[in-house]
């Protein structure tokens, strides 16, 4: 049996408490787009099992929220789009939802997201979807909850559930974790299955865990991965001594004084606790065109992957990316009220996954991010992990025009398909800031050790106050 987290003494008591808090708090932040009507029934059944001596695992009876781009047979799965909102539910739970249920977790509901996981337009608003509306940051209601796992991050930070599932293609767990002040663990691509998840990119998509602590995020990852590995067993005090942590400066420092200062304090704390901090372990410079390559890869894989996913959905809804674009044009008063769908249209016009352009772009991304990037730096400096600032403080919400997002830690790990573990550090001007720990493929255990070690050194963040504004 997995060992780290413990089941609740009464699932019913936990779910009743959470439902009361959701009723009070969620109207302010709109993090949950579809509550599960049978949450209490699930909890009662799990309590009865526990009373009969059957405890399925350490998370038996615990409540979890699931991002609304992950199939649930009993609840709508919309990816935030009205094109899917009126369609029949998926025919079956995604494998990762099956694993949540098999582990004895209560699926409390679905969380809102940036529509189509933020692949619709370059000027999209993180946290907005036609189906779920606008999710707000619980620390300041005029600030972004990040994206695209907006609702999952905001809900955990607001205390609406201890566990939530997000998905990431490039920053979609790391950003809302940093903005909302919770832990986000994006695993190595392929560790957690993506079957039954509305896709963007077969080469970069990764479902992962969002939680209030590193140990909880690791425990949830153990359930999602389903391979019997107890990731939370590595969240043990006293394991920082001798860990070699690199600090790549380059483009990851310098875009936010607030994020820089918090990250410097985090690095100093790691060093004081016995970690060997190796400064200046910069990644080799990336080609100026690498981000164009990444976008070409994502848009090519989107068209292929989305058609395959939609073909399996019951009902008479959209079956291709062309159908989605046409639906948005027909319902422009709602779907295109705030921003367009330029990326979806670009995907229709661009090269497909069977093209030479796609193959070359993907090869360049992998070469730059893996052997020419993360793996090279880890090897040359004999490092266990890298640490950088995550993002600046959450920007103010804008429903029209490009967002004022400053900096990002996620691009290179995303192209590499490597894990990224984001941990809040402190509040600056009333808003969370965070650091992110990077590793090579399959290095989740090491990242959990280091991130938990750091987390145990710093004070917990004050809870959100749902202020109208800060600063």
Residues 6 or more apart whose Cβ sits within 8 Å of residue 239: 449, 450, 452, 453
CA-CA distance, 77 to 61, in Å (whole number)? 23
CA-CA distance, 409 to 146, in Å (whole number)? 14
Cα dihedral 379/382/385/388 (nearest 10) = -90
Distances (CA, A) of 186 to 313, 417, 418, 437, 470: 26, 10, 8, 11, 29
User: Which member of 81, 126, 148, 436 is catalytic?
Assistant: 148
CA-CA distance, 414 to 364, in Å (whole number)? 13
CA-CA distance, 194 to 206, in Å (whole number)? 7
Any catalytic annotation for residue 203?
A: no
User: Which member of 4, 7, 31, 67 is catalytic?
Assistant: 67
Q: Name which of 14, 461, 438 is nearest 212 in CA terms.
A: 461
Residues 6 or more apart whose Cβ sits within 8 Å of residue 246: 278, 279, 281, 377, 378, 381, 383, 385, 386, 387
Which runs of consecutive H residues, i.e. helices, occur in 273-320? Answer: 290-311
CA angle 51, 162, 219 (to 5 degrees): 75
Any catalytic annotation for residue 110?
A: no
CA-CA distance, 22 to 134, in Å (whole number)? 16
Any catalytic annotation for residue 31?
A: no
Q: Name which of 159, 202, 220, 235 is nearest 437 in CA terms.
A: 235
User: Which member of 149, 172, 209, 390 is catalytic?
Assistant: 172
Please report where in the chains the tokens 């709602």 appear, as a residue: 334
* Positions marked catalytic: 67, 148, 172
């Amino acid at each position: 049996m997995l060992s780290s987290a413990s089941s609740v003494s009464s699932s019913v008591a936990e779910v009743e408490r959470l439902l009361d808090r959701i009723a009070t708090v969620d109207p302010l932040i709109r993090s949950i787009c579809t509550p599960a009507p049978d949450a209490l029934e699930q909890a009662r059944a799990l309590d009865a099992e526990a009373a009969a001596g059957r405890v399925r695992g350490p998370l038996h009876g615990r409540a979890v929220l699931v991002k609304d781009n992950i199939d649930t047979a009993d609840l709508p799965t919309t990816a935030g789009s009205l094109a899917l909102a009126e369609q029949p539910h998926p025919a079956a739970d995604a494998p990762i939802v099956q694993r949540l249920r098999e582990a004895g977790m209560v699926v409390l509901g679905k969380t809102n997201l940036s529509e189509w996981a933020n692949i619709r337009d370059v000027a999209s608003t993180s946290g907005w979807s036609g189906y779920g509306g606008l999710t707000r940051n619980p620390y300041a209601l005029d600030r972004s909850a990040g994206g695209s796992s907006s609702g999952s991050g905001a809900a955990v930070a607001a205390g609406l559930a201890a566990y939530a599932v997000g998905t990431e293609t490039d920053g979609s767990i790391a950003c809302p974790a940093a903005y909302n002040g919770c832990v986000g663990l994006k695993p190595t691509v392929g560790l957690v299955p993506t079957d039954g998840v509305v896709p963007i990119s077969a080469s970069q998509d990764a479902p992962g865990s969002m939680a209030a602590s590193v140990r909880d995020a690791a425990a949830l990852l153990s359930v999602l991965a389903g391979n019997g590995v107890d990731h939370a067993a590595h969240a043990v005090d006293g394991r920082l001594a001798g860990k070699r942590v690199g600090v790549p400066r380059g483009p990851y420092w310098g875009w936010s004084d607030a994020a820089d200062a918090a990250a410097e304090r985090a690095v100093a704390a790691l060093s004081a606790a016995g970690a060997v901090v190796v400064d200046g372990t910069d990644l080799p410079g990336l080609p100026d065109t690498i981000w164009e390559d990444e976008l070409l890869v994502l848009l090519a894989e989107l068209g292929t992957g989305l058609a395959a996913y939609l073909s399996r959905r019951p009902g008479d809804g959209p079956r291709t990316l062309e159908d989605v674009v046409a639906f948005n044009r027909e319902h422009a008063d709602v779907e295109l009220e705030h921003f367009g769908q330029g990326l979806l249209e670009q995907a229709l016009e661009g090269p497909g996954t069977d093209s030479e352009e796609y193959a070359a772009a993907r090869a360049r991304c992998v070469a730059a991010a893996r052997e020419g990037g993360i793996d090279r730096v880890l090897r040359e400096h004999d490092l266990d992990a890298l640490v950088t600032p995550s993002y600046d403080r959450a920007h103010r919400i804008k429903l029209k025009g490009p967002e004022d997002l400053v900096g990002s830690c996620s691009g290179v790990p995303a192209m590499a398909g490597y894990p990224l573990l984001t941990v809040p550090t402190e509040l600056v001007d009333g808003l969370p800031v965070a650091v992110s720990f990077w590793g090579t493929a399959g290095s989740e255990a090491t990242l959990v050790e280091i991130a938990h070690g750091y987390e145990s050194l710093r004070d917990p963040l004050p809870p959100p106050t749902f202020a109208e504004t800060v600063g």
